[in-house]
Amino acid sequence: MKGNKEKEWERAPRGLEDFLSPREPIPKRLYLVLALSSFAFFLLVWSVLTYGGFVDPLFLPSPGRVFRAGVDLFVELEFTTDILSSVYRVMSGFIVAALIGVPLGLFMGTFKVAEALTEPVIGFIRYMPASAFIPLFILWLGIGDIEKIAIIFVGSFFQLVLMVAVVAKNVQKEMLETAYTLGARRFQVIWKVLLPASLPGIVDTLRIIVGWAWTYIIVAELVASASGIGYMIISSQRMLRTGNIIFGILTIGMLGLLTDYFFKWLYDRLFPWVE
Amino acid sequence: MEEGIKLHIHNVSKTYRSDGHEVLAVDEIDLKIRNKEFATIIGPSGCGKSTLLRIVAGLVKPTKGIVRLDGNVISRPGYDRGMVFQSYTLFPWLTVKENIQFGLEISGMPKAQQEEIAQQFIERVGLKGFEKSYPKGLSGGMKQRVAIARALANNPAILLLDEPFGALDAQTRALMQELLTQVWEELHKTILFVTHDVEEAIFLSDRVFIMTARPGKIKAEIDIPLERPRSYEIKATESFLNLKKQALRLIREEAIKAIQCRE
């Protein structure tokens, strides 16, 4: 029944004003076409500029040359190893940040005592740019993986804690009160109401934070590194291999997009009950 | 303990501090609710009637006075005072059945017994077939039916209802009133109900208390001797209308005071 109605709606005739009304839905196919055409437009501008000879290939190589540079990277320069070491660093830093940050954020959003103890400090540290810690971390931790992971941790942990705290704070008070009047003790209210009510918000927060973690890894790998996508980019710069740089950037974009879709998929699987 | 008294609100006052000055929300209220009685507090909005209900629930501490349930002083919330709020408070990650079982599970009741009781209340509020639905798929009226079933399944000593039908449309609201009357006539649970709807109060209750505009005091008490079982048709009878007239007159004076207060 519902499927049929949707189909009818998809086929119904529309005027131009239907597509430009605030927040009104548009047909799925149109959505897909528009989404793809934004990529196509980007590719078109790039192609015109490069194949048309408007810019020096040294500064901006054509899509074809970037593609060939990518093939070379994988075949001859072991780019897979670079990708894996970047993924390893991002995920390690992110997972450690999440393992500590999610419980701490929940505490902050739940207990005023925890909030008073931690919020001012965290609010202060989060304004310190993660990249500014690089020299310090090199001194403390050397130039290996641990230093890179520490940068990711600093870049994501403090934001994550504050965002999770907000999620916990936004749980409807009456829901907690209802649990109390059903006989729940404080611990049960936290475990059986506050936590499940916060979970969707937490997964959504993790999705946003992992995106930021990807931006920090490059900064971390640009300095004192011997592997990783960032390392590949900085060494390509020294040899003026612009194609490699662009391919590296595109790879990060793809990896970010994949993680994003993974979290969206996870969200839909875990929380079919969210309105 | 006085004979036949279930709940005694004994000289309860509540003062709030807001913006540096004190606001008296509830002023020296003394109220006795009888066992198995359906009692309703009615008053203009902001008169402190919800505050009073929350004090009985143990969610708010009174500034002065005590509340006794079956002779025992109330100090915190407990399963013996089930509450239904105006806003929808179903746990969205639990199905209808799991929501109703929530209190039972917490009490450590065996699973089979939980399910039996839940099923019984699902049928009682007419939600058979929706056991496995999540709250997101339910209408407002259905959500409140689940909330009432959830509170009743816990077998509380008294049921507290804070404008539970306030967010529903008029037709759904009338049907919910009939359902609640029917459930009450079967179970004879002591109920303390809060509303600002005069007709709703009279239709449901054995006794109606009228509260004054802030600071909230009990201004009058009206007995509702209408026979039971009650059906919606009773709303058009002369005795019903007379009671309604009486209550409206009293509440109107307070509503006017409340409006002037805010201006």
- With respect to residue A166, please indicate whether it lies within any of the assigned structural domains: yes
Contact residues on chain A for B136, CB-CB shorter than 8 A:
273-275
Q: Is the CB of B57 less than 8 angstroms away from the CB of A175?
A: no
DSSP code for B212: P
Instruction: Please tell me which of the candidates A175, A199, A272 has its beta carbon nearest to residue B89.
Output: A175
Q: Chain B residue closest to A200 (CA)?
A: B93
pLDDT tens-digit series, residues B122-178:
999 999 999 999 999 899 999 999 999 999 999 999 999 999 999 899 999 999 999
For residue A16, count other CB atoms closer than 10 A to its CB: 6
A89 shares a domain with A50 = no
What is the phi/psi pair of residue A263, to 5°? -65, -35
* Residues A24 and A126 occupy one common structural domain: no
Structural domain range at position B21: 5-85+159-262
Residues A189 and A90 in one domain: yes
* Chain segment A61-106, per-residue pLDDT in tens: 999 999 999 999 998 888 999 999 999 999 999 999 999 999 999 9
A3, part of any domain: no
Interchain contact, A197 vs B102, CB within 8 Å: no
CB atoms under 10 Å from CB of A166, counted, come to 13
User: CB distance from B81 to chain A under 8 Å?
Assistant: yes
Instruction: Give a yes or no: residue A6 inside a domain.
Output: no
Could you list the residue range(s) of the whole structural domain that residue A203 is in?
66-270
Whether A66 and A248 have beta carbons less than 8 Å apart is answered as no
Same domain, A39 and A137: no
Residue of A nearest to B101 (CA): A182
The answer to whether the beta carbons of residues A242 and A58 sit under 8 Å apart is yes
Q: Out of B58, B87, B92, name the one closest to residue A274 (CB).
A: B92
Domain count, chain A: 2
Please, what is the end-to-end C-alpha distance for chain A in angstroms? 21
Tell me how many domains chain B contains.
Answer: 1
Give buried/exposed letters for A186-207 (b at 16+ CB in 10 A, else e): eebbbebbbbbbbbbbbbbbbb
Q: Between residues 38 and 67 of chain B, which touch chain A (CB distance below 8 Å)?
A: 57-59
**Percent of chain B at pLDDT exceeding 90:** 78
Answer yes or no: are the C-beta atoms of B92 and A275 closer than 8 Å. yes
CATH for B74: 3.40.50.300
Whether A102 and A214 map to the same domain: the answer is yes
How far apart are the CA of B228 and the nearest CA of chain A, in angstroms? 30
Chain segment B85-122, per-residue pLDDT in tens? 999 999 999 999 999 999 999 999 999 999 999 999 99
Query: Which of A178, A194, A273 should be substituted to probe chain B, the one whose Cβ sees the most B Cβ atoms within 10 Å?
Result: A178
In terms of domains, do A96 and A195 share one? Answer: yes
Structure tokens given for B7: 């709940």
Looking at residue A129, what is its pLDDT? 86
Answer yes or no: is pLDDT of A2 > 60. Answer: no
A43 and A75 together in one domain: no
The total number of residues written for chain B in this structure? 263
Cα(B109)–Cα(B104) distance, integer angstroms? 6
Which pairing describes strands B21-34 and B207-211: parallel, antiparallel, or unpaired?
unpaired
Interface probe with B: pick from A182, A199, A271, most Cβ of B within 10 Å: A182
Q: Are residues A117 and A32 in the same domain?
A: no
Rounded Cα–Cα distance for residues A178 and A184 (Å): 9
> Contacts of residue A180 in chain B, CB cutoff 8 Å?
58-59, 76-77
Q: What ipTM was reported for this prediction?
A: 0.91
Q: Chain A residues contacting B, CB < 8 Å?
A: 172, 174-175, 177-184, 188, 192-193, 196-197, 199, 271-275
Q: Is A213 found in the same domain as A144?
A: yes
pLDDT band at A226 (very low <50, low <70, confident <90, very high): confident
pTM: 0.85
The larger pLDDT score, comparing residue A203 to residue A19, is at A203
A121 and A77 both lie in a single domain: yes
Residue A90 · residue A213 · CB < 8 Å: yes
Phi, psi for residue A99 in degrees, rounded to 5: -60, -35
Residues A199/A205/A211/A215 CA torsion (nearest 10 deg): -130
pLDDT at residue A3 in the model: 55
In angstroms, the separation between the Cα of residue A185 and the nearest Cα of chain B is 9
Confirm whether B131 is domain-assigned.
no
Q: What Cα–Cα distance (Å) separates residue B17 from each residue in A106, A251, B10, B54, B204?
A: 28, 58, 22, 17, 35
Is residue A18 included in any domain, yes or no? Answer: yes
Same domain, A154 and A233: yes
The alpha helices in chain A, defined as continuous H runs, are 2-11, 16-19, 28-51, 63-76, 79-110, 112-125, 134-141, 145-169, 173-181, 186-189, 195-222, 229-238, 242-270
Q: Which pLDDT value is given to residue A104?
A: 94
A22 in a domain, yes or no?
A: yes
User: How far is residue B150's CA from residue B106's CA, in Å, rounded to a whole number?
Assistant: 13
Task: Give me the CATH number covering residue A129.
Answer: 1.10.3720.10
pLDDT digits 0-9 by tens, B147-161: 999 999 999 999 999
Residue A257 in domain: yes
Q: Do A21 and A84 belong together in one domain?
A: no
- The yes-or-no verdict on residue A1 having pLDDT over 50 is no
In a domain, B140, yes or no: no
